[in-house]
Every structure is written in structure tokens, then in C-alpha cells.
């Protein structure tokens, strides 16, 4: 490690959102959200624009006063504190670096505001510059820095205040794709090093999957599902979560009977599958079966668990071959299979489509009651 | 080598001619008045028969030009004071108006800007009548008040423009880092809007310096203002010192403008 961890025993504080509700005029922006972020945990608020994730972040920061509910750090409610007394660090979406101040002055700003001595400011600036590996840039102005460098400064500025909580607002949106991974690793490293409890707001599921310990998928002001990236991906709680996280094929089907741990389903396209599901369905009920593209396969031989498809297009994308196929009922599906080296687009026009070996299809009721 | 066609040549000529005409109209009078100010002759005649510094010597003579000096001092004092008061008022007003989203703020904004479009002559007359009705006699302070109304909108407008360009996230970042509102204003808002304020002050000062309509109505013999005095000299004696005053004013403005541009990028702000 390049910089020593902050001295003294640092214990990460849990952050609790207790029944937060907020409305703008007539619309509910945040609808009774309860979320417990454990000490040292990074939770991503993931959702489309307008789902209330940014409003929630601004409520935690103190920029918006919620209509109802409590924000608690440790065991203390912070709702009565103004933004400048909350001791929460924020990395703003476009970093919000002070354009007329140098990197060093930006980092020292909070300490100066707090009235710390010049020695302490210098010392902390030096430490933070080392932490984000920006020692050579202390006297630069923000506009002379690249996007990644600006983000490092924004992190250093926030961490210089030794915050208890770190909020990240779309931290990677303004970065080039190949820079993102570096910064994701960097943020994860700093979050561990400083024992920070963190909330990240993002609309990008890859970002959330990459660095969050848990993901809260939000939709119209509510948390639809809270879980680890793997849980959210493999066991989406709703059709919305299912479609928002990754891509999937949705196949209409009917429940034909119960089996151990799940159901036998008859797909509309003729195939019969057994799908594990903890949910409760009645025989004959119409359902949607969702399968991830990489959990399906194409085969030459027919079987009761496979249905015939017409191959429209095959694209070699990196290590995968993406097939675009049409089932007999006209449904369009995507199938991703590992590409053997040298394999090019398939020449056969028709094939049989089935589940891969470790496939975990998910059942959803057709019309949620 | 590319051959230029007939239309290229005519285009270049037409544009060149128009540009030349523009420059002539803009710069010509300035050059003529400056040239005239160096004349040896007793009259404001162009071209000057011979060049000398005679009229500048006359202009700076403390005895013979005492009235001009006092008028100039009055003008600078009124312009300076009105600009400083106007700056404080305008910055406060702009800060409040950018913070409030209510329709009342838009109405206030329009009314603060209205002196820019109000005919200044009407305002001068109205101010004179108003002040005599409430029984205030003409004085330098009254002139300052009168000029303030007319010039403050310049500062208000440029300050408002700088404030609306200010990223609100910067102040949120400031608060988030533990800074009080006042600390954030001093360290973030003020430095970032300072060029806008300075540009407005420059415009306001200049506009007060050569304001005729308000001064015409609100000044009297004891509170002579430079433009009024110049006009009086022009009417009565065709004194060549007027040209010398014009020369000094042009030079002063030029110096002020270069200094301001160095400090704040003024030209960008006025045209923006």
C-alpha cells in the first residue's frame, strides 16, 4: 500500500434509512424506503432515471429535507443537522471541483473551513495526494486534469475530512470505458482502507455489479430488491429487476404441475421444462419464464425440453457467440454461447433451443396481482 | 496556387469596403478629436494648422481650468460612489434573486433591470420633480442617488449572469465539506463571480461618467458635472480644451479597459 491507513481504531459506522418518504408537489419521489447499510459496506442504488435514487442520496447528504422518515448514522439520527455538519463525504457526479483553486487548495478546503492550522492542512493534503497518487499535480487547476485525475482529486477532497459515510453520485458516468475499471478498483481500495460505509448511485448495472457489496434496485421511488449482485442477477425478485439487470429472454408458459422445489411448465412454443421456484403458483396459471442468454443453448437434435428455432443472425462478440433466433410462435430470443476458437457464424438455418446445463430460469406471474 | 474567380474578388472587395467604412465611422471621430486637441489654433478646426500641447497645458492649469477640475472631480466622485453603492446593492439583489424560484423573484428581476430601458431623460425629469416635491435640494448626494438608479442595472445584469453560470454543485460541495454559508460565499461564490461584478462596475462607472440626462436635471451651478460643463463650453466659447478633455477621457478609458481585461477578461464578458 502506498499510504498508511488513518491512524487510530477506525470502526465503520452503519447507515440506516428508516421509512424515508419524499414528495415533490404531488409526485412521490421516494416511497417509504428502508435500507440498512452495514458498517464498511458499499451499497449501490441502481435504477433508471427518475426512480428516486438521486433524491435519496441528496436526502442523506442533507440537501433535501425528506417529508418523512429518519436517516441514522451509528445510532444517532442526523436529520436535524445541516449539510455542513453531517460529516458525510460526497464524490459529485461531475466532481464539482472548485475551478479557481488548485488541487491542493481543493483538498484543503474543508480543513480550512473548519479552521484547522496551516500545518495540519499541508500535512493532510500531502497525505491525501499520496493516497490517490496525485503528488505531481498539487499546484494544477482542475481544468488542467483529465477526468480520472479529477475524480481522484474529488475523492481526496472528500476523504481529507475523514468522513464516516461516503456517497458516490454516478461516479463513473463521465469516465472513458477503459478508465472505469481502474477507478472502480481505486474506489473499492479507498473505501476499504478508510473503513467507509458507502452508498453509490448509478443507472449502470455493470458498475453496480462490479463494486457493490449489495445492490438495491429501485423503481418508482421504491426498492424492488435488495441483495448481493449474484442474488439480484440469479434470483430477480420481479420482472422489472429481471429486465433491468442484464438481458434475458422472456417466454410465455403455463404451470402444468408441481415438482420437488419447483414446477413443471409447458412453454407456449411446445417445450416442457422443470423450473425451480420458491414462489407459489397454481396449476394452469399463466407465467413468464425468464432465461439469461448465456444459460440457453442451441442443439441439432430435438428433445421434449427443446423447441425449434430459426437462426437469423450470429455475431462473434469477444469470447462469445451471440445468436439471434426466432421461435415458431414468432418470439425473438438471444442466445449466448462460448465461442470455440476459430468458430465463425453458424451455417445451419434451423436448430433446437433448450436450457444449458446450469441454467436457472426464473418464473414470474404473467400479470402481477 | 488557386486562381481567384471574379466573384471571390468582388466578395473580398465588398466585405473589405464595408469593414473599412465601419472602422472609419467608429474610429474616425475619435482620431479627429484627438488630432484637434493638439492644435495651436484658437478654434475647434480640423485639420489643425500646427501641433502643440498648448490646450493640455491649459486644461491642467489649476487656476484657469478650476471649474473644469471641480466638474471632473464631481463626476469621478459621483461615478465612483454610485458604482460602489450600486455594486453592493446589485450583488445582494442578484444573490437573492438567483436563490428564489418564485415568480415574485422574476418580477423583481425585471424591475431591477427596467432602468436600462426606461428613457433616461424622462427619469431625470421625474427625479427632479420627485425630489423637489419631497423637498430635497440638489446636491452631490442627490446626483449619486440619481446616477445609482441608472447605473446599478449594469452591475446587476453582469452579476446575475455570472451567478446563473455558477454550478450549484460547487456550493453543495462547499457545504458538504463543512463550510458555513458565509465561508462558501467568500471562498467560492465571490471569486467566481468577481469578474462579472468587475465588468458591470466598469460599464456602470463609464455610463455614470458620461451621463447627461440625469445630471442635467439634478445638478446646479455648484454641483457642475463634467459632461454638462463640456456642453456649456461648447455652446458658449467653442473652447479647444473640450477636445483636450475628450482626449484625456479616451486615454483614461483605454487604460482602464486594458487593466480590466488583464484582470478579468472583460471584453469576453461584455460581448457575452
The tens-digit pLDDT sequence of chain A (369 residues) is: 344 444 444 678 999 999 999 998 778 899 999 999 999 999 999 999 889 999 999 999 999 999 999 999 988 999 999 999 998 999 999 899 999 999 999 999 999 999 999 999 999 999 999 998 899 999 999 999 998 899 999 999 999 999 989 999 998 887 888 788 888 888 898 898 888 999 999 998 888 998 999 999 999 999 999 999 999 998 999 999 998 888 899 999 999 988 988 899 999 888 899 998 888 888 889 999 999 999 998 888 888 889 989 888 888 887 888 889 998 888 889 999 887 766 655 566 788 899 988 888 999 988 654
Q: Tell me if B177 and A113 make a contact (CB, 8 A cut-off).
A: yes
Q: Looking at chain A, which residues constitute the CATH 3.40.50.300 domain(s)?
A: 15-243
ipTM, interface predicted TM-score of the complex = 0.81
- Which residues on A lie below 8 Å from B176 (Cβ)? 61, 83-84, 86, 88-90, 158
Q: Tell me if B187 and A110 make a contact (CB, 8 A cut-off).
A: no
**Chain B neighbours among A 134-153 (CB < 8 Å)?**
none
Map residue A91 onto helix, strand or coil: strand
pTM: 0.80
Q: Tell me if B178 and A63 make a contact (CB, 8 A cut-off).
A: no
Nearest to A314 by CA among A343, A353, A354: A343
User: Around Cβ A42, how many Cβ atoms within 10 Å?
Assistant: 23
Instruction: Please state which CATH number belongs to domain A247-365.
Output: 2.40.50.140
CB of B178 within 8 Å of a chain A CB? The answer is yes
- Which residues on B lie below 8 Å from A62 (Cβ)? 175
Per-residue pLDDT tens for B140-152?
889 999 999 999 9
The answer to whether A291 and A319 have CB atoms below 8 angstroms apart is no
For the record, the C-alpha cell of A342 comes out as 476459430
Q: Tell me if B169 and A92 make a contact (CB, 8 A cut-off).
A: yes
For the record, the C-alpha cell of A205 comes out as 448495472
Chain A's closest residue to B181, CA to CA, is A84
CATH H superfamily, domain A15-243:
P-loop containing nucleotide triphosphate hydrolases (3.40.50.300)
Per-residue pLDDT tens for B212-260?
889 988 887 777 888 888 888 888 877 788 888 989 999 998 998 888 8
**For B79, which DSSP code?**
H
Given phi > 0 = left and psi -120 to 50 = alpha, else beta, which region is A158?
Answer: alpha
Map residue A186 onto helix, strand or coil: helix
**How far does B102 lie from chain A, in Å, by closest CA?**
14
Q: Looking at chain A, which residues constitute the CATH 2.40.50.140 domain(s)?
A: 247-365
Name the H helices within chain A: 53-61, 103-113, 118-131, 147-159, 177-193, 205-211, 229-234, 239-244
Q: Tell me if B178 and A114 make a contact (CB, 8 A cut-off).
A: yes
Q: For B165-214, give the secondary structure using H, E and C.
A: HCCHHHHHHHHHCCCCHHHHHHHHHHHHHHHHHHHHHHHHHHHHHCCCHH
Q: Which domains does chain B have, with CATH numbers?
A: 65-271 (1.10.3720.10)
Amino acid at each position: 500500500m502506498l499510504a498508511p491507513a488513518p491512524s487510530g481504531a477506525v470502526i465503520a459506522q452503519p447507515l440506516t434509512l428508516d421509512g424515508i418518504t419524499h414528495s415533490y408537489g404531488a409526485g412521490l419521489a421516494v416511497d417509504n424506503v428502508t435500507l440498512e447499510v452495514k458498517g464498511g459496506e458499499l451499497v449501490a442504488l441502481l435504477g433508471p432515471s427518475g426512480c428516486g435514487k438521486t433524491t435519496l442520496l441528496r436526502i442523506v447528504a442533507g440537501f433535501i429535507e425528506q417529508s418523512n422518515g429518519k436517516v441514522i448514522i451509528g445510532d444517532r439520527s442526523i436529520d436535524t443537522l445541516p449539510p455542513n455538519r453531517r460529516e458525510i463525504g460526497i464524490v459529485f457526479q461531475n466532481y464539482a471541483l472548485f475551478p479557481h483553486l488548485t488541487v491542493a487548495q481543493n483538498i484543503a478546503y474543508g480543513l480550512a473551513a473548519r479552521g484547522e492550522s496551516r500545518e495540519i492542512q499541508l500535512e493532510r493534503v500531502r497525505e491525501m495526494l499520496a493516497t490517490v497518487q496525485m503528488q505531481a499535480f498539487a499546484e494544477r487547476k482542475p481544468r488542467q486534469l483529465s477526468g480520472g485525475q479529477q475524480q481522484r482529486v474529488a475523492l481526496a477532497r472528500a476523504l481529507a475530512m475523514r468522513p464516516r459515510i461516503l456517497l458516490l453520485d454516478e461516479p463513473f458516468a463521465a469516465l472513458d470505458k477503459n478508465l472505469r475499471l481502474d477507478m472502480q478498483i481505486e474506489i473499492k481500495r479507498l473505501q476499504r482502507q478508510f473503513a467507509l460505509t458507502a452508498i453509490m448511485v448509478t443507472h449502470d448495472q455493470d458498475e453496480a455489479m462490479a463494486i457493490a457489496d449489495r445492490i438495491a434496485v429501485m423503481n418508482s421511488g421504491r426498492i424492488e430488491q435488495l441483495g448481493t449482485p449474484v442474488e439480484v442477477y440469479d434470483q430477480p425478485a420481479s420482472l422489472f429487476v429481471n429486465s433491468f439487470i442484464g438481458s434475458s429472454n422472456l417466454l410465455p408458459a403455463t404451470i402444468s404441475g408441481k415438482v420437488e422445489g419447483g414446477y413443471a411448465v409447458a412453454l407456449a412454443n411446445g417445450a416442457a421444462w422443470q423450473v425451480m421456484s420458491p414462489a407459489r403458483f397454481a396449476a394452469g396459471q399463466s407465467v413468464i419464464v425468464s432465461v439469461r442468454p448465456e444459460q440457453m443453448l442451441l442443439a441439432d437434435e430435438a428433445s421434449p425440453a427443446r423447441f425449434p428455432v430459426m437462426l437469423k443472425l450470429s455475431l462473434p462478440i469477444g469470447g462469445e457467440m451471440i445468436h439471434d433466433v426466432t421461435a415458431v410462435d414468432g418470439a425473438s430470443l438471444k442466445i449466448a454461447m462460448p465461442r470455440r476458437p476459430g468458430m465463425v457464424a453458424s451455417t445451419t438455418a434451423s436448430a433446437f433451443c433448450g436450457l444449458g446445463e446450469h441454467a436457472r430460469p426464473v418464473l414470474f406471474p404473467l400479470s402481477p396481482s | 496556387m488557386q486562381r481567384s474567380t471574379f466573384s471571390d474578388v468582388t466578395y473580398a472587395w465588398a466585405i473589405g469596403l464595408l469593414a473599412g467604412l465601419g472602422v472609419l465611422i467608429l474610429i474616425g471621430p475619435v482620431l479627429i478629436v484627438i488630432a484637434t486637441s493638439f492644435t495651436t489654433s484658437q478654434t475647434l478646426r480640423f485639420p489643425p494648422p500646427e501641433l502643440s500641447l498648448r490646450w493640455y497645458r491649459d486644461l491642467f492649469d489649476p487656476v484657469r481650468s478650476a471649474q473644469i477640475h471641480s466638474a471632473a472631480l464631481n463626476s469621478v466622485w459621483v461615478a465612483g460612489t454610485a458604482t460602489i453603492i450600486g455594486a453592493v446593492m446589485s450583488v445582494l439583489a442578484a444573490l437573492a434573486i438567483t436563490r428564489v424560484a418564485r415568480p415574485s423573484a422574476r418580477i423583481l428581476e425585471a424591475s431591477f433591470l427596467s432602468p436600462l430601458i426606461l428613457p433616461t431623460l424622462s427619469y431625470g425629469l421625474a427625479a427632479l420633480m420627485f425630489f423637489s416635491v419631497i423637498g430635497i435640494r440638489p446636491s452631490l448626494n442627490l446626483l449619486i442617488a440619481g446616477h445609482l438608479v441608472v447605473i446599478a442595472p449594469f452591475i446587476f445584469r453582469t452579476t446575475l449572469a455570472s451567478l446563473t453560470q455558477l454550478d450549484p454543485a460547487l456550493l453543495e460541495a462547499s457545504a458538504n465539506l463543512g463550510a458555513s454559508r458565509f465561508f462558501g460565499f467568500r471562498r467560492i461564490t465571490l471569486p467566481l463571480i468577481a469578474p462579472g461584478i468587475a465588468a458591470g462596475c466598469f460599464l456602470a462607472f463609464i455610463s455614470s461618467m458620461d451621463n447627461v440626462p440625469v445630471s442635467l436635471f439634478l445638478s446646479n451651478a455648484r454641483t457642475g458635472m463634467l459632461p454638462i460643463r463640456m456642453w456649456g463650453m461648447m455652446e458658449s466659447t467653442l473652447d479647444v480644451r473640450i477636445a483636450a478633455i475628450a482626449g484625456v477621457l479616451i486615454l483614461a478609458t483605454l487604460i482602464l479597459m486594458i487593466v480590466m481585461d488583464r484582470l478579468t477578461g472583460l471584453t469576453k464578458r461584455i460581448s457575452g
